[in-house]
Amino acid sequence: MKTTTEIIEIIEIIKSRNRFLITSHMDPDGDSIGSQLALYHILRSLGKEAMAVNQGAMPSKYKFLDPDGIIRFSGSDLPFVPEVVFLMECPSPERIGFVRSLIPESAFTVNIDHHKDNTEYGDINLVDAVSGAAAEILYFIFHIGGFEITPEMAKQLYAALASDTGRFRFSSTTARSMMVASRLIELGADPKYISDRLYADFSPETMRLLGTTLSGLRLEADGKIGYLVITLKDLMASGAGIENSEGFVDFIQSINGVNLGFLFKELPSNEVKVSVRSQNGFDSARFASIYNGGGHTNAAGFMRSGNLDEIIKDVVARAAEFINGD
């Protein structure tokens, strides 16, 4: 890893400081959740004060990683003033939402990410776009620092790496990613158990929402563009929360001939969250940047305010131009 200097600096910060806040982007995914939890456990094992706080909600598929409810999703004051803030896989500080109000000006910020569009806003920036997940970077911090990775932490890191590489099938998956996964299995991660929890343990509410969402599949541009939509009405009818839709967009990549796929999620705040997936050489992050979003080559996203139908119409039109090279 070409970022050895930053790793050594982060290890020294972990050892020398005492009060830590850990956060990530709004509406956390598997990588941000697993990475935050593993880092939290390292800090606590060293006798440090630590809190993990996010804006959003815990997707049901990841609750097995945090049975004790370590990650907090409320905006109340912290029990201590953090000396150090770790921002995990978050390209810009604006994306952490209300957590920004919990960060004092005096705090030292550590930015750990693998998004290629990261703005390197931290006091230390460990940004490695070669890594398949932030969890992959954390593994090397723990390994080089001589910190013990327990079976519970190995489970969290493995789940983070597996989820952010699309079960090790995205182009971000490298030989090093597989080496880290192998080492985590040696340290106690159970790949079958983790895979079953992530991909074969849905609640009835999630399954109802998935059925409704998939039945609304639309194809455009001779089948090169596909999209799914989740409305507020769909959420009410299924009894699910928006967090239960984590991973739904990946079904679009299973459709033969689709180069660019979208999941549009209507939010109560008159906003629409748009998840993007791509294949066959098309770049999700490059498309998301049109709307000031970002992400990875095969997985990205952005937010838009306004009417759902108008946003869908605009995004699909721009997607057609994008895949035609206009």
Query: Which residue ranges form the domains of the chain, and what is each CATH number?
Result: 4-199 (3.90.1640.10), 204-323 (3.10.310.30)
| Nearest alpha carbon to residue 204 among 229, 240, 234 | 240
pTM of the prediction? 0.85
Q: What are phi and psi of 289, to 5 degrees?
A: -65, -20
The model's pLDDT over 240-253, given as tens digits with 9 standing for 90+, comes to 988 889 889 989 88
Judge whether residue 326 has pLDDT over 80: no
Judge whether residue 112 has pLDDT over 90: yes
Structure confidence at residue 294 (pLDDT): 84
Structure confidence at residue 1 (pLDDT): 57
- Give the confidence band of 284 by pLDDT, cuts at 50, 70, 90: very high
Average pLDDT over residues 141-165: 97
Average pLDDT over residues 89-117: 93
Structure confidence at residue 147 (pLDDT): 98
Structure confidence at residue 200 (pLDDT): 81
Average pLDDT over residues 24-51: 96
User: In whole angstroms, how far apart are CA 170 and each of 48, 138, 167, 185?
Assistant: 36, 20, 8, 20
Average pLDDT over residues 118-146: 95
Structure confidence at residue 216 (pLDDT): 96
For residues 273 and 295, the answer to whether their CB atoms sit within 8 Å is: no
Judge whether residue 306 has pLDDT over 70: yes
For residues 50 and 40, the answer to whether their CB atoms sit within 8 Å is: yes
Identify the burial level of 175 via C-beta atoms within 10 angstroms of its C-beta, where 0-12 means exposed, 13-18 middle and 19 or more buried: exposed
Average pLDDT over residues 305-312: 97
CA atoms within 13 Å, Cβ hemisphere of 126: 27
Q: What are phi and psi of 230, to 5 degrees?
A: -120, 120
Q: 294 versus 159: which is more confidently predicted? A: 159
Judge whether residue 186 has pLDDT over 80: yes
For residues 273 and 27, the answer to whether their CB atoms sit within 8 Å is: yes
Identify the burial level of 197 via C-beta atoms within 10 angstroms of its C-beta, where 0-12 means exposed, 13-18 middle and 19 or more buried: middle
Structure confidence at residue 295 (pLDDT): 82
Identify the burial level of 34 via C-beta atoms within 10 angstroms of its C-beta, where 0-12 means exposed, 13-18 middle and 19 or more buried: buried
- Give the confidence band of 75 by pLDDT, cuts at 50, 70, 90: confident
Contact residues for 256 (Cβ-Cβ < 8 A; gap 6+): none
Average pLDDT over residues 200-215: 92
Structure confidence at residue 2 (pLDDT): 55
- Give the confidence band of 188 by pLDDT, cuts at 50, 70, 90: very high
- pLDDT above 90 as % of the chain: 79
Q: Taking all residues of the chain, what is their mean pLDDT, rounded to a whole number?
A: 93
Structure confidence at residue 253 (pLDDT): 81
Structure confidence at residue 169 (pLDDT): 83
Average pLDDT over residues 158-177: 91
